[in-house]
Structure 1
Amino acid sequence: MKTIFLDTAVLLLLLVGVGLWWRGAVRVRFLPCPVWLAWLLENPYMNAVASSSTILDRLNLAPGMQILDVGCGSGRLTIPAAERVTPNGAVVALDGQPAMLEEVKKRVAAKHLTNVQILLSRIDQDELEKNVFDRALLVTVLGEISDREAALHQIFAALKPGGLLSITEVIPDPHYQPYSVVRRLTEAAGFQFDSQYGSWFAFTLNFKKTDEPHDKTLQQPV
């Protein structure tokens, strides 16, 4: 019995250590959730605390809207979002892993959807059109982005005035970002807090695009 307890404790410590290393490593290199772990985002626990329908219900989607799904993975949110904004709306499914986007393509084809655009990108470069999206999604993704500040500025620019950025975080995601970090980063990029759902272990925070980016470095007199 004692041996089993020690083995379990060692395993837990190892998992915690790997998680902490991973959280730090993503700040300097691209280390997203690998394709073979995509099932972690589509399981009974995730469906209970942060299902695709729950997250999308918090966005007041309507037909005709343009949606940006950042770090779309295998398309857990992409597909139902595309179905909700038909007939004239569309979804851009953005991810930095080609294998993930191949999974999205399979799902799009299976549903016979024609309003999903695939975009291979890590979101920290200036690749998006300005002022075109009504909603942007970051679901258990923010912590995976190496340059979170640059990514949030890109999303800010891509949203229409009054558009919403929706960020969802869920424990035990190793990239989990707490309330305070999410608010600090998004508000520094110019977003205004709009609404909050859930609790600390599984929450969604929505932010609205304001008129001007809140970048103190740009506001300093020359």
Structure 2
Amino acid sequence: MPLLAGLAGAAVTLIVSACSAAAPNGAVPAVAPPGLAQERFPKPQRPVASIISDQWAGEDSRERAGEAAKVMDLLGIRPGMTVADIGAGAGYYVGRLSKRVGPGGRVIAQEVDRRTIDRLGRRVSRERLDNVSLVLGEPHDPRLPPRSVSLALMVHMYHEIEQPFGLLANLVPAMQPNGRVAILDVDGPVLAHGTPHALLSCELAAVGYREVAWHWIEGRSIYLAVFEPAAEPPAPERIVPCGVR
């Protein structure tokens, strides 16, 4: 059965409406229909880093380094776009993305922990980010509204994903035509909270993603990798984990 089958037009309309209704207070996260079950996907042949904080580093230090502005410029984020911040954490990017896409755009802030998304919802309300919606997803399924996202951003969290093949496959239905997925991470060991470039490229290629850009953000340690998803990712049973090829 094709992975994108079963997304009825009525469901799309209802989900997008719910997503809009979630802003600005974020009290009721919007949820898309469930994707493919995690049990169908092979386990990654590498360790998974534990989640130790809802933010990578202090926002002041990141702002002084110009991290968000640099990333948004490299990705060409502009007014009117819909950007999903997957694993939004404390919301460092959420407010900055909100300003960049403007009132005609939308930011979907996604998390898998209800307490984290509740805190993020309070920040969204406090800062009056009216173009931000919240989504409570699952570790293997971002649960984003179908065909809603022009850019999906994952910042310093890929190494914490327990089921990357499921998440990447279930992300595809949410992407608009010509949509991109951008991953910011450290080019280092997974257990040191990084993802080596070769491992990242291999895992995304296993789900049909194609790397289209690579940028160094900080020296030769932090990178921004950009991918285009496959129109139709392979069936879960056909995915071969990296490290056993």
Which category describes the TM-score, using the shorter chain as reference length?
0.7 to 0.9
* CA distance in 2 between partners of 1:150 and 1:205 (Å): 19
Q: TM-score if structure 1 supplies the norm length?
A: 0.74
Match of 1:208? 228
**Residues 76-155 of structure 1: pairs in structure 2 closer than 5 A:** 76-125=92-141, 127-155=143-171
Deviates more, 1:60-69 or 1:134-143: 60-69
Look up the SS of the partner of 2:205 in the other structure. Answer: helix
CA contact 2:135–2:143 (8 Å) conserved in 1: no
Deviates more, 1:210-219 or 1:168-177: 210-219
Rg bigger for which structure?
1
1:175 equivalenced with 2:198 (yes/no): no
1:24 equivalenced with 2:24 (yes/no): no
Could you list the runs of 5+ residues in structure 2 that have no partner in the other structure?
A: 1-45, 240-245
1:155-178 CA-to-partner distances (Å, cap 9, x unmatched) read 222111210100000368832101
* CA distance in 1 between partners of 2:197 and 2:64 (Å): 20
**RMSD over equivalenced CA pairs, Å:** 2.7
* CA distance in 2 between partners of 1:207 and 1:86 (Å): 24
Match of 1:6? none
* CA distance in 2 between partners of 1:77 and 1:102 (Å): 16
* CA distance in 2 between partners of 1:57 and 1:164 (Å): 15
- Structure with the bigger RCO (C-alpha within 8 Å, sep 6+) is 2
1:76-103 CA-to-partner distances (Å, cap 9, x unmatched) read 1111111111222111111122232233
Look up the SS of the partner of 1:80 in the other structure. Answer: helix
CA change 1:126–1:24 in 2 (3 A) is: closer
Match of 1:33? 52
* CA distance in 2 between partners of 1:189 and 1:134 (Å): 19
Aligned residue pairs total 190
Look up the SS of the partner of 2:75 in the other structure. Answer: coil
1:42 equivalenced with 2:62 (yes/no): no
Could you list the runs of 5+ residues in structure 1 that have no partner in the other structure?
A: 1-22
Q: Which has the higher helix share?
A: 1
* CA distance in 2 between partners of 1:186 and 1:174 (Å): 20
Look up the SS of the partner of 2:233 in the other structure. Answer: coil
CA contact 1:134–1:159 (8 Å) conserved in 2: yes
Same amino acid, percent of matched pairs: 23
CA contact 1:132–1:158 (8 Å) conserved in 2: yes
Q: Which amino acid aligns with 2:51?
A: P
Q: TM-score if structure 2 supplies the norm length?
A: 0.68
CA contact 1:162–1:210 (8 Å) conserved in 2: no
Q: Which amino acid aligns with 2:59?
A: E
Look up the SS of the partner of 2:95 in the other structure. Answer: helix
Q: Which amino acid aligns with 1:204?
A: L
